[in-house]
Structure 1
């Protein structure tokens, strides 16, 4: 007994299972995690070590070299790269591609131990090294908070409010700021006045340190309670600093700090990085999704929570969208659904022309059942709805109907020849099941090289192999069970006039023309072989003109412009230049928004986006456009015009790629 006989004999069970597959597929589709790109592990970590006051060469010799030597003891190491700036060492550690997200935490722990062991060898003045292993986190939502009437400190308070509230939203993992300037109180001494009163700068420093010290002042018993004593006098305002009393060493009298120094409240200068949105100073807010989370659900929940918080947001504070992954995912899924419906319709129409209405509807139904069943098994395998998995389904659509077509066509020929439907189903499946299984396995293994690859491309595209494996495997199973049952239920023998023999299944006009073509090809066999070889040779010759890129450019309506000023440029000068360039970019035809990231690259809002490390001479622009098709022309225009107007800068325009690596 083969699969077809089993499915037909227990047709009620088969129909119930089919119904479960349809309903379960719809439910699973709505519950599947949704992302723009597959979850991809950035196998990089940063080891940051401050060395205040040291030159770049001293940082390299006394800090970076020692950390590099310690890191090179890691057996998992792929490569190490260091950057030594004045007062700061940054070491980038890259791990071999074969280590995935499950094994990387152990690697980072070992890295911390290696870096910790070398701390005793550091010279005095070097601060403790910090290992940043979350460098590869992806922030699916990246917003700019701005308002011309508000200072950075006030904008940061709004950002803190949003962080407290939005961290409670489902599927939100972490929230981080970018471009927020830390506040500082500057004490500018009047040296002449201090000299007259006999006050040394060290006295001011010591007083400031002692005054703002947090210490346990003990406890006191009051009745039946034991109450902690909380000392007052910590600084809470600029006036508190100004009212600080200092003892003059010569006169012995107490003097207010304001009498010998100017106290000002400002921001840490120079800032490490600065964010501007359409020319407005802004604070960036990045939101990441939990592993396996649904970025669309998270985006909708955040939008709803933001609406609830609108009354608590100060009037005049606005939000600019730098990147919103939920919208991109929704667009991609909507596009897939359109492609899916179009594919099913095309299959039904083509089969309708060549196989008849009933056959076309049966194959179309089996195709839909197979796709829905694929959704059911994607979830336990940890496959999300994202760019690669959706593309895999679209790629597989043309192959999913092969098994069903062979079974339906074989049964149709036998039924029209007068054979009983159930017997026809049994014979067709018995004859074709193993060959079709082999063909399906070959089709699956064609994608095996990608899915089983241990490099970054294999990890990024693994869902391609997983979805093809699931969908094609299920297409064979449904082709051997559900398809024969539907044929038995709905395929009928063609009516022939009484007394006539059953119609020849290969007597149609298409088969007659095909028979003639086949006979000609066999008759002139050598000419046929030479023609095929010639076509093959022409295809090989033409292949050299095909662009070489495993991952093409994205259709994202946004592109990057990297601008480099001479190394050592102060970030204030970088900002002055960036403001002029930003205006030129905003005036481009089709440009909607321009985001300025000065001093460093932004948060990793796409898995394929690699942010530049801190550099005061660097600025990046993210330009949003109405139509992605104009991006190449705009990049060419920018790379030609900007250097002519600003001869000291280097300008590079780039599009986003659909995967890791270069294009």
Structure 2
């Protein structure tokens, strides 16, 4: 081959030009990430059943999924979670087994189950992978927690709207809950008891299937969707109705407030209450492009004044900066090395020969980068 390219210099030059062009194309398509990908050893099955209690979820979904998955080769253990309206079953893959093959076996086993409730959504089987953290945003200020959470959710919605960003989560708050405080005086005044209030609240806040109707076009599920979502909705629940048409509502006998579960963990940024908006990258996304897009969106939020004066937003834990600095260090070291090689060769060879020998280094790198795509 050396003899051929020595005799046909044009072919050698064309080959080198092709390698350079393909290498530049490979560099442009190269995904830059914070950490390398690791093989996953967890396969998850998620399923939703709107309106069902956790006990129904366990009996009608979890047990059936576990029975179907149990016995599949390559599974070390199975862990399940059941809560109102949702369940997740996770299978740990044994060392030496391919997670994708196990995922396919689990998918086939789940597809054979024909006894799921008709109102349950289709199960989702996927390989559980750790997302690549890019950076976080701190939304903080001297404001009520509900306002900070609302602003953090607003920032999240703007980020998700970008086609470059797909994984955004908000952290810093415990589960949201509605607090209903009853006084003995109010209960005695209206002749009510705590069980009376509990039954009225349960009956007045409902989201569940109640039946179905079949016709020639198919089956239609009938649902009652009258679930109270906030303090105003709960305050409007009717507790007692008189024969004359008068009504006593929950807001007349109780103090209702939006609050959070008691939790000894909280986040503070710059000494003030805060929420963290985490931005992650999937295994097909570029960390540096995501970081640049986040900075552009944050700059737009600040410029438009979308946040109240008491609420601020700041970048925290920008891991993409570390990726960028490492890449810059790699490029600088490569250029310095190339110059040193060129200078060393010119001490023993003429400048023309030294140049073409040194050119073999970047051409080799570009060819390798393209081959790795």
Q: Distance in 1 between matches of 2:233 and 2:17?
A: 74
- Aligned partner of 2:157 in structure 1 is 164
**What's the secondary structure of 1:38's corresponding residue?**
coil
* Cα drift, residue 8 of structure 1: 3.0
- Aligned partner of 1:208 in structure 2 is 201
Structure 1, unmatched stretches of 5+, are 54-58, 121-127, 217-230, 380-663
Q: Contact 2:41–2:93 at 8 Å: present in 1 too? A: yes
Change (3 A) 1:259 1:28: closer
1:328 to 311, 319, 322: 322
- Aligned partner of 1:151 in structure 2 is 144
Change (3 A) 1:117 1:322: farther
- Aligned partner of 1:639 in structure 2 is none
Structure of larger gyration radius = 1
Change (3 A) 1:104 1:327: farther
Q: Deviations over 1:440-462 (max 9, x none)?
A: xxxxxxxxxxxxxxxxxxxxxxx
Q: Distance in 2 between matches of 1:338 and 1:351?
A: 20
More helix by share: 1
Change (3 A) 1:30 1:119: closer
Q: Distance in 1 between matches of 2:246 and 2:208?
A: 28
* Cα drift, residue 107 of structure 1: 5.2
Tell whether 2:285 aligns with 1:293.
yes
1:283 to 267, 270, 275: 275
Q: Distance in 2 between matches of 1:80 and 1:19?
A: 54
Which residues of 2 match residues 261-276 of structure 1 at below 5 A? 261-267=254-260, 269-271=261-263, 274-276=266-268
The RMSD of aligned alpha carbons is 4.6
- Aligned partner of 1:337 in structure 2 is 331
Change (3 A) 1:117 1:353: farther
Which residues of 2 match residues 51-450 of structure 1 at below 5 A? 72-79=70-77, 93-98=91-96, 102-103=100-101, 105-106=103-104, 109=107, 135-191=128-184, 193-195=186-188, 197-213=190-206, 238-239=231-232, 241-242=234-235, 244-247=237-240, 254-267=247-260, 269-271=261-263, 274-310=266-302, 311=304, 312-353=306-347, 357-379=351-373
* Cα drift, residue 152 of structure 1: 2.7
Change (3 A) 1:354 1:107: farther
Q: Count how many residue pairs are aligned between Structure 1 and Structure 2.
A: 339
Q: Distance in 1 between matches of 2:273 and 2:128?
A: 25
Greater relative CO (CA pairs within 8 A, separation 6+): 2
**What's the secondary structure of 1:28's corresponding residue?**
helix
Q: Contact 1:153–1:183 at 8 Å: present in 2 too? A: no
Q: Contact 2:73–2:102 at 8 Å: present in 1 too? A: no
**What's the secondary structure of 2:131's corresponding residue?**
coil
Q: Contact 2:45–2:90 at 8 Å: present in 1 too? A: yes
Q: Distance in 2 between matches of 1:215 and 1:66?
A: 21
* Cα drift, residue 100 of structure 1: 5.3
Q: Distance in 2 between matches of 1:154 and 1:286?
A: 18
Q: Distance in 2 between matches of 1:375 and 1:42?
A: 25
Q: Contact 1:169–1:298 at 8 Å: present in 2 too? A: no
Q: Contact 1:140–1:323 at 8 Å: present in 2 too? A: no
**What's the secondary structure of 2:38's corresponding residue?**
coil
Q: Distance in 2 between matches of 1:187 and 1:95?
A: 45
Q: Deviations over 1:56-86 (max 9, x none)?
A: xxx9xxxx999988765231214557999xx
Change (3 A) 1:253 1:13: closer
Q: Distance in 2 between matches of 1:316 and 1:17?
A: 62
Change (3 A) 1:255 1:317: closer
Q: Contact 1:180–1:274 at 8 Å: present in 2 too? A: yes
Q: Distance in 1 between matches of 2:268 and 2:236?
A: 37
Change (3 A) 1:44 1:208: same
- Aligned partner of 1:31 in structure 2 is 29
Q: Distance in 2 between matches of 1:279 and 1:94?
A: 41
Q: Distance in 1 between matches of 2:225 and 2:88?
A: 40
* Cα drift, residue 358 of structure 1: 4.9
**What's the secondary structure of 1:147's corresponding residue?**
strand
Q: Distance in 1 between matches of 2:226 and 2:35?
A: 53
More strand by share: 2
Q: Contact 2:42–2:92 at 8 Å: present in 1 too? A: yes
* Cα drift, residue 177 of structure 1: 2.2
Report the TM-score when normalising by structure 1.
Answer: 0.43
Change (3 A) 1:188 1:117: farther
**What's the secondary structure of 1:345's corresponding residue?**
helix
Q: Distance in 1 between matches of 2:201 and 2:342?
A: 81
**What's the secondary structure of 2:141's corresponding residue?**
coil
- Aligned partner of 1:651 in structure 2 is none
Q: Distance in 1 between matches of 2:269 and 2:126?
A: 29
Moved more, 32-41 or 92-101: 92-101
Q: Distance in 1 between matches of 2:331 and 2:172?
A: 39
